[in-house]
Amino acid sequence: MERLLSVVRKKTLDPQEPFLQQWNKIFVVSCVIAVAADPLFFYIPVFNRQHQCLTTDRPLMIIACILRSFIDIFYLLHIIFEFRTGFLPSSLPEPGSAELIRGLADIAKRYLSSNFTIDILSILPLPQLLVLVITPALKGSFPMKTKKFVKIAVLLQYIPRLLRIYPLYKEVVRTSGILTERAWSGAAFNLLIYLQASHVLGALWYLFSVEQQARCWHEACKKINCTSNFLYCGDPNGQAYLFIDAYCSHKESEGDNAFDFGMYAEAFKFHLTETMSFRRKFIHSFWWALRNVSSSGQNLEVSDYMGEVLFAIFISILGLVLFALLVSNIQKYLQSSNARVEQMRINRRAIENWMRQRMLPKPLRRRIRQFDEYKWQLNRGVKEEEVMNDLPINLKRDIKPLLRLDACLVNLKKVPLFSNIDDRLLDLMHGDLKPVLFTEDSIILLENKPIDMMVFIIKGKLRATSRRNISNYVSKSDVVLEAGDFYGEELIPWAMANHITPHPISTSTIKSLTKVEAFALEANQLRSVVSQFCKQHLPSEQALRHALFTAQMFYSNQWRVWAAYKIQEAWRDYCQIKQRDGRFRDSLAKTVGTSTSSAANLYASIFISHLLQAVEQDRCHQISQHSQMTVLLPPLKPDERDKRDYSILNL
């Protein structure tokens, strides 16, 4: 309430204020309730079966008046807001020079010339005045006059209320986006219109049933020249005639000379016009209207009364229009929701035709189909990159955890060079990361081919197979890469160099073992990120050279091969020394066991030691001559190469 009062105190209001947008939604709901509450006045007339006269349902009359008055408060507040809400001029002198018009005179002039008349006609309390003030003063025929006046007043105000709902609904949809491009919401909205029409027609059918029974009583009264005052329970001079009940009863209407109730016969059959139970007559009237609107009035049996025939024609036309509108809108929304599926089918047919024209082999066709199917299952035809590019930074940040980008950035920090990277560079890399998909048994990268991107695995498994020739010996290694791993790290030393060189060569063949989801960072984007990182964390040239050498030793495959070879060589030397020491101890033990002199044992051990060393050296010399072993030299360090080739980024 305080917020409402603060808004009312303002001189002018901005139409883009959140409060006004929220108020428009509330007012649309109140308008829908208003058009649903007004037909309640049609159920007020009712026949008193005991006294055979027409009266009113006073509890229902009071409830309908209170509900209508409460809804009119929302219309009154809406009119006040309209007189204080600024607007943009329809024609702007210059593009982009839109300035809100806040003058109260201009606002009032605009509103008075547009929707003011409709709002005033909608808010006039005509039904309340007729029911509570005017018609009670008219004694005698009070119920009949109430029925006639209320019918005219409600129908006259119903049209402007309906006309006011549609533009407000379109404005709410435009500003808030609710009920747009959703099959269920569109179908629900059109179904609501369908039910509302049935509600209004059911109330009219009940009111016309009361009029039909009153018409029957008038005709019966004419036959005996009686007065019509007996029809109204409020007339003190009225009296009941028992023959009226016999002439206008439903059972007697089956004879040849009986009164023809036409389409209203069902109301008299179930005594709806005589019951004070609002729930009973409302539900049955609503069901009658819904049934006939759905069938376009095909089962209606009318009398020769002109008003009844016109009402039946109106029901038939309205039923056809509403049914066509409902079906067309549901079909439109369903087609909108299935548009991506249809587009997927069209794309698949185009891909099949293209593969057939290019005469691709069947295994390759199968892999292409698998990739297309997997991509569709993952994003349902939505182009994720285009959607993300159109979103602001704050929404991208909130969406990152859902798209597993945070997991990718965590994996990025596993790279030693980026272990201390700050959030700003992470956001920069986030914009460069591209989602990639790999189907099962797909060869992603071949050995001895240039590496063009660094890939961070989010889901699935890859196998990295490498073959190396060391000393005429072929070494094969298989490494399984899972979620959290990455490959393509050889690009980091390349990205740190300033000169333009070809991309590093892959020493492994990368193949997918399962369906793989990953994020890729292309070489050019990686170079940009590395340059920014070096500018912040490695300000001096000496630190840059040291970082480059460290990165080269850590990521370079040549250094890895050389390190593996040196480890193997050291292991072989260790095994040879251990084997030689074992033979020496065995020989020494044998000598000690056979000699009795300690001096002889000492000389014998020294002699055997020198003899074994000579034999071992001769054997190694012979092996090196026959095998022609190639010694693997370590790669050159950055300081030992041309400085031009390893100049660091000019930061």
The two structure tokens encoding residue 184: 């269920």
Residue 112: other Cβ atoms inside 10 A: 12
Which domain-ending residue is among 498, 523, 555?
555
Mean pLDDT across 9-22:
72
pLDDT computed for residue 650 by the predictor: 36
The amino acid at residue 553 is: M
> φ and ψ at 60, to 5 degrees?
-65, -35
**Cα–Cα–Cα angle for 16, 17, 19, rounded to 5 degrees:** 135
pLDDT computed for residue 648 by the predictor: 35
Which domain-ending residue is among 503, 536, 555?
555
Confidence of residue 185 (pLDDT cuts 50, 70, 90): low
DSSP state of 497: B
pLDDT computed for residue 285 by the predictor: 94
Contacts of 547 (CB under 8 A, 6+ apart): 417, 496, 534, 538
Q: Tokens 């005045």, residue?
A: 129
CA distance 263 to 268: 10
pLDDT digits (tens, 9 = 90+) for 423-457: 666 666 666 777 788 878 888 888 888 888 888 88
Is 424 contained in some domain? yes
Confidence of residue 365 (pLDDT cuts 50, 70, 90): confident
**Interhelix angle for 183-224 vs 142-176, to 10°?**
170
Q: How far is CA 239 from CA 51, 141, 245, 447, 640, in A?
A: 8, 13, 13, 110, 126
Choose the weakest-confidence range: 187-196, 267-276, 371-380, 541-550.
541-550
pLDDT digits (tens, 9 = 90+) for 413-428: 666 666 666 666 666 6
Is 638 contained in some domain? no
Confidence of residue 259 (pLDDT cuts 50, 70, 90): confident
CA distance 33 to 518: 52
Confidence of residue 180 (pLDDT cuts 50, 70, 90): very low
| Alpha carbon 492 to its chain's center | 38
Q: Is residue 649 predicted with pLDDT exceeding 80? A: no
- The string of DSSP codes covering 582-603 is HHHHHHHHHHHHH---HHHHHH
Choose the weakest-confidence range: 66-70, 108-112, 357-361, 390-394.
390-394
Give me the number of domains the chain comprises. Answer: 2
Confidence of residue 93 (pLDDT cuts 50, 70, 90): very low
Is 486 contained in some domain? yes
Is 272 contained in some domain? no
Is 351 contained in some domain? no
Q: Is residue 244 predicted with pLDDT exceeding 50? A: yes
pLDDT digits (tens, 9 = 90+) for 40-74: 989 988 887 777 777 888 899 899 999 999 998 98
* CATH code, domain with 470: 2.60.120.10
Is 17 contained in some domain? yes
Tell which phi-psi region holds residue 404, choosing left (phi > 0), alpha (psi between -120 and 50) or beta. left
State percent of the chain over pLDDT 70.
Answer: 59
Is 167 contained in some domain? yes
pLDDT digits (tens, 9 = 90+) for 297-317: 888 888 888 889 999 999 999
Q: Is residue 162 predicted with pLDDT exceeding 80? A: yes
Q: Is residue 569 predicted with pLDDT exceeding 50? A: yes
pLDDT digits (tens, 9 = 90+) for 578-627: 777 666 566 556 555 554 455 555 555 555 666 566 656 655 554 444 44
pLDDT computed for residue 595 by the predictor: 47
Q: Is residue 555 predicted with pLDDT exceeding 60? A: no
CA distance 179 to 259: 50
Confidence of residue 370 (pLDDT cuts 50, 70, 90): confident
Domain assignment of residue 455, given as a range:
405-555
DSSP state of 130: I
Which domain-ending residue is among 178, 212, 245?
178
* Listed ranges 54-63, 141-150, 279-288; the one with the highest mean pLDDT: 279-288
Mean pLDDT across 474-497:
76
Q: Choose between 525 and 207: higher pLDDT.
A: 207
Q: Is residue 537 predicted with pLDDT exceeding 50? A: yes
- The string of DSSP codes covering 297-344 is TTT----S-HHHHHHHHHHHHHHHHHHHHHHHHHHHHHHHHTHHHHHH
How much is the mean pLDDT over the chain? 73
Cα separation of the two ends of the chain: 60
Q: Is residue 7 predicted with pLDDT exceeding 60? A: no
Q: Choose between 137 and 521: higher pLDDT.
A: 521
Is 540 contained in some domain? yes
Contact of 54 with 47, CB cutoff 8 Å: yes
The two structure tokens encoding residue 118: 């409709």
- The string of DSSP codes covering 43-91 is G-EEEETTTTEEEE-HHHHHHHHHHHHHHHHHHHHHHHHHTTB-B--SS
The two structure tokens encoding residue 64: 């309908």
Choose the weakest-confidence range: 395-404, 510-519, 544-553.
544-553
Contact of 649 with 534, CB cutoff 8 Å: yes
CA distance 324 to 331: 10
pLDDT digits (tens, 9 = 90+) for 382-397: 666 666 677 776 676 6
